[in-house]
Amino acid sequence: MKKILGMKRILSLCLAALLLLVYLPVTSAADEKVITIHYQRSDGAYDEWNIWSWADAEGSGYQFTEKDAFGMIATVTIDTEMTRIGFLLRRSTSDNDWAEKEFGDRFVDLTLGSEIWVISGREEFLYEAPEGYADVVQFTNLEIIVHRDRYDGRLAEEEMRLSLNGEDIPVRKSGSEYRAVLNNVNSVQKPVITFIIDGKETAFEMSISKAEPGIAYRVYSGLGKGFLAGAEKDLGKEKMVKSAEVTGIDEINVRLSYPTTLVPEGFTAIGGDSDYSDLEPGYATSFILKTDEPIDLNTTYTVEFDGYTPLSATVGNKYFSSEGFEDMYTYDGELGAIYTKDKTTFKLWSPVVQAARVNLYPDGGKSELLEAIEMTSAGKGVWVAEVNRDLKNIYYTYTVTNNGEESEAIDPYARAAGVNGKRGMVVNLSDTNPEGWENDVSPPFENPTDAVIYELHVRDLSTAESSGIVNKGKYLAFTEEGTKSPGGLSTGIDHIVELGITHVHLLPVFDFRSIDESKLNENKFNWGYDPENYNLPEGSFSTDPYDGNVRINEFKQMVQSMHKNGLRVVMDVVYNHTGATANSNLNLLVPNYYYRFTSAGNFSDGSGCGNETASERSMMRKLIIDSVIYWATEYNIDGFRFDLMGIHDIETMNLVRAALDEIDPTILLYGEGWSGGTVQLPRDQQALKVNTPKLDERFAVFSDDMRDGIKGGVFDHQQPGFVSGDYSRREDVAFGIAASVFHPQIDYTRITNPDSENRPWAKAPSQTVNYVSAHDNLTLYDKFKASRPDLGETEWLEMNKMAALLVLTSQGIPFFQAGEEFARSKFGNSNSYESSDAINQLDWNRKTNYNDLYEYYRGLIALRKAQPSFRLQTADEIAESITFMDVEAQVIAYTLKADETLFVAVNADDSERTVTLPVSGWDILVDGQRAGTSAIGRVDGNTLTMPARTGYVLLQRDGAELAAPSDTSTEAESDSEDEQDSGRAWWPFALGGAILILAGAAVPMFVKRR
C-alpha cells in the first residue's frame, strides 16, 4: 500500500510539473537579419557620410566598411523578426554627427529584399542592383609592387607569395622588392589579394574593386596588417612618440611609430606589444611605462625615447575610470561661485590642469577683462580663489592651462549668466526672489499614480495670436490669468487648470545652445535638447537675457504662478549629453573626464548628438545630483524627466531619488528607458526600460509598448495600432493597462516590442508612464491621419477619444502632449525641434473647433481623479483587481474591482460590437461622446452594444454581484479566423485538460500493474 501511495504522489508531481510547463510562456529567439546598404555619390566624397538606422525605438550609427564598383557598402544587423527598418543618410563631422542629412526618414521593406542601392540626390532607392552594376571585376593587366622592409633591420630571405582569392600568383624578386603581374583577371566581385610570408597567412589582405594599372601595395614583412602607399614618403618610417596617455595612478601607455627596445630613463616598461610579428625579440611599438611615484596630474610629463620625437603625456580616458583616480580626486564639497556681501569664493574642480585662474568682467557680453585672479590648488583636484569684496552682478569665467594650452570656459556650477550663457554671473539669489516667494509651496500631492502630466514647451503655450497672451514665448506667459481665445474660451494657465492637470512638464528650460539670445527678434525656435549650462534658466524665455538676474526672477514667477493655481512643475533634464562636444564647457575645463569614449578613442555617441556623459564617474554623478537638488531647493521644482535615461547608470538614478527624498519624497521622477545609440556602459548597468526593476519604485519610465500598441510604431508613420485597425497589438495595450507589471492574464509572448523582452518590466505601477504622444514624432491627430488616410476626420477623432480613454483609465502614470486634447497638429512634421512657431505653437482656435474632444479629455481626467481604482498602488492590487474579458480581437474589455466595480471597454472595429457584462445593472460614465464622473445613461441588462470606434466606462450599481471570470463571454462570434486566433490563448487550458483526462485513465492501470 505504501508503494502505491508513493507512486501516486510521484505521478501527481509529474502531472503538476507538466501542467506548469503547459502554462509557462513560450519564447523563441528571433532570427538575425543582415541588411546591406549600397550608397553611390557622383562626387565620390564618402569620407564623412554614414548610416543611421533603427529597427525599433533605438537607433545606431553604421559606417561604410566596403567599396565596390557601385560605391560604398554598409551592413546593418538586427536580431528581430520585424519586416521594416528605418534609415537616414547623414554626414558627421568632428563637432556634429548630424551636420547634414540627405532627405528624411526612409524605410526598408524587408519583405521586398534585404539589400538596397541608394543613389545620392534620389529619394527613392532600389531593391535590385541598377543596370550596369558589375557582378565581376575585370582587368587585363595589373602590376603589384611590394616594397619590403623590417623595422629591426633584419631583411632575411623569407619566402613571399601572393595569392588572388586563394590561388597563387607568380612573384618576381629583386632585392627588397617583389613584383607580380595579374593578367586577364575575371573575378567574382571584390577579389582579395593575400600576402603570405614564410607560409604564414596572417599577412595583409585588401579587396580590389576598382583596379588601377601600376598600383603599388607596400607592406612590412610580418606586419599582419598594412596599407596602400603610392610613394616612399608614405611608408611612415619617421621615429616619433605617437601617443602617450596616463592610464593609471602610476602608468603611462605609450605607442611609437617605429619599434624599439629602448626604455626611457626613470621608467620601467611592462607588457611590450607590437602590431608587427616576426620582429627581433624585445622590439615593440607599445609600452606601459610604470612610474616610481603616483602621477601628479598637475605636472606635465614628457615621454622621450632616444632618437624619437618626444610627446607630452595626456590623461587617458581609462584613467578617469580607475579606482585610484576616484580615491584621489572625488570631492564632495560645494563648487562654483559662493557669494556673500563681504567675499566671493570661487571653487573649480579640474584635477588634470596645471594652472587655473578666474577672469572677472563687467557684463556677460564681449566687454574687456576687469581682472584675472590666479587660483591655488586645494587638493582633491579643486582650485580655489577668494575675492574679499562685494562681487554681486560681476561676470566671470575660468581659464585653465593644460599641457601648455589655455582654455576659457564658463563655470559648470554657474547659477546665473549673461547673454548666451558664455559668462557666469556672481549672483545674490535672494535678490532674484519675486514678491511672496518665501511663501511659495507646492500643491498637495501624494502618490505618483495620482499625477496627470501635461508636456509643454514654454513658447508653444503663448506664441499664437489666438492665445490672447501678452508675454509671448516667455516665462511670464504662465503668470497671465483670464486670457481668452477668439472663441471666448480659456487659454494659457487657465486652460491647464480647467483641464484638471496636476503636473506641467516643461521641455528643457535650462540654458541651451541653439538659440542666439542676442537676436530674439528673429523668433528662432528649438526644443532645447542641446545643453549649455545645467544650473541656470534659458535666457531666450526671459524679457532680458543680458541681465543674469532677470531670467531667474521670471522663472521663479512662472513656478510661483503654477503653484498658486494648483499645478506642480516638472523639468525636462538632459544630463546624458552636452550640446557641444570637444569644445563643451565640461571638456574644456576637465578634458575627457565627463564623457565616455569608444575603444578607438573617439567620443562615444549613445545620445545620437555627438557624445554621451559618464554618469558612473563620481564627479559627473555629483554634477547631476547637485543640479537636481539645486533646482528642487532654489526653484521649488516638483519633478524631473530624464532624457535618454538609458545612457545613465542605474546607481546614479537611484542616488538622485535618495537625494530628492531628503527634500521632498513627492518629487516626481521619470525618464526615457532607452538611448539614442550604442552606449559604452554594460547593458545591465544602464537605466533601460528592461532594467526598471533595479530602480527605486518611485522612478518611472515611459511605456512605448502602450504608445505603439494604441497608435502604431512612431518610426513608421503609416503603421496603425490597435485603435486604428491593427488588432494584433491588443496584448500591448493590455500590458499598458496593467502598468507593465505582472498580470496572470497577459500573454507576454505576444508583446510586440523586442526591447520589453517578453516580460513585465515594472515592479509597481508607479514605475510606468503611459502615453500616446509627446513632443517628438507625429502628434496623435497627425499619426491617425497618416496611418489611416482611407478614413476621415470623424473617424480620426473617434480614435483620439479611444486612445485618451485607454491612457487615462490605465494603471500607472498618465502623460500627454499639450494640445492633444484639441487635436493638435504639426501639419505632418514629425521632428519639429527647430521648426517655426507656426508649426509648434498651440493654436487655441482648435479648442473651439474641437471642444467636444477637449471636454472628453476633461471628463476623463476628472473621472480618474475621482476613482482611486484607476490609481492602484501595487502590482498585487492590479493582478487581483483587473479581470480581462474573453472578447473579440477588435475589442478590449476588463472589469476593475477595487473600491467600486468598474467595467472598461473599447471597440476599435468599424462596426458595432456587443459584449456580455458579468452582471446586470450599470451606470454609464463614459461613452463615445461624453465622459465624466456622473451617470449619463444606464445598462439594465447584461449586454453592452458599442458603436464602431467607441469606448465605455461603466460603474456597477449597488446590489449586483460580480460573476466569476469564467462566466464572461462575448455575444457575437468572430468575423474571421484572425480574430479567433488573437483572443486570449485557449490551448494551455485544452492541453491541460487532455493531460488530466489521460492521467485519470493512466493512474488505475499503473496501480493495478503494481
**Is residue 332 flagged as an active site residue?**
no
Quote the longest CA-to-CA distance of the chain: 105
Which strand (E) or helix (H) includes residue 785? helix 780-787
Q: Three-class SS of residue 17?
A: helix
Confirm if 315 and 246 have CB atoms less than 8 A apart.
yes
CA distance 782 to 666: 35
Residue 658: DSSP 8-state: H
Which strand (E) or helix (H) includes residue 339? strand 336-339
The three-state (H, E, C) secondary structure of 873-906, written as one string: CCHHHHHHHEEECCCCCCEEEEEEECCCEEEEEE
**Is residue 643 flagged as an active site residue?**
yes
Q: Three-class SS of residue 335?
A: coil
Strands (E), 731-838: 768-770, 813-817
Rounded alpha-carbon distances, angstroms, from residue 871 to 538, 714, 878: 35, 27, 10
Q: What is the CA radius of gyration of the chain?
A: 33
Secondary structure (DSSP) of 452-507: -EEEE-HHHHH-SGGG--SSTTSGGGGG--S-B-TTS-B-HHHHHHHHT-SEEEES
Question: Per the residue annotation, which of 643, 704, 708, 731 is the catalytic one?
Answer: 643
Confirm if 617 and 593 have CB atoms less than 8 A apart.
yes
Long-range contacts of 371-380 (CB under 8 A, 24+ apart): 372/399, 373/346, 375/346, 375/348, 377/298, 378/347, 380/328, 380/329, 380/330, 380/331, 380/349, 380/351
Residue 928 corresponds to which cell in the numbers above?
A: 463615445
Nearest to 459 by CA among 529, 526, 556, 536: 526
CA distance 485 to 833: 26
Task: Give the amino acid at 728.
Answer: S
Confirm if 35 and 110 have CB atoms less than 8 A apart.
yes
CA distance 968 to 763: 29
Question: Per the residue annotation, which of 56, 511, 538, 672 is the catalytic one?
Answer: 672
- Residues 6+ positions from 131 with CB-CB distance below 8 Å: none
How many beta carbons lie within 10 A of that of residue 500, not counting itself?
18
Residue 95: DSSP 8-state: S
Q: Write out the catalytic residue numbers.
A: 643, 672
